[in-house]
Amino acid sequence: MEKLIRVRILDHEYVIKSDIAEVELQEIARYVDNKLREIKSETNGLSEKHIAILAAFDIANEYFQVQKKGVDTVRNIQKRAALLNNQIDSIVGD
């Protein structure tokens, strides 16, 4: 069931309609806020819009890196499983 949840990001309050648990949504908001503040502290004079775009790219990059790592892990598991199956087949005999 969707509910309205208030979050603060860069000293602005936003009301978000979501079915995500409030605790989880607040955690996401803190992550986004921290990322924006990190970028803001590393740059001088950029507008919040530009900071938000840089943060979006940074978060997207993190997401794609995690996704790629997951795909690589699955491929590695599949290769190892196939190797183990071949070894079992050679011991048991077809």
pLDDT of residue 93: 74
Number of domains forming the structure of the chain: 1
Residue 44's pLDDT is 87
**Domain ranges, residue 17:** 3-92
Element (H or E) spanning 9, and its range? strand 3-9
Residues making up the chain, counted from first to last: 94
What pLDDT digit, counting tens, does each position of 29-40 carry? 999 999 999 999
Mean pLDDT on 18-24: 96
pLDDT at 70 over 90: yes
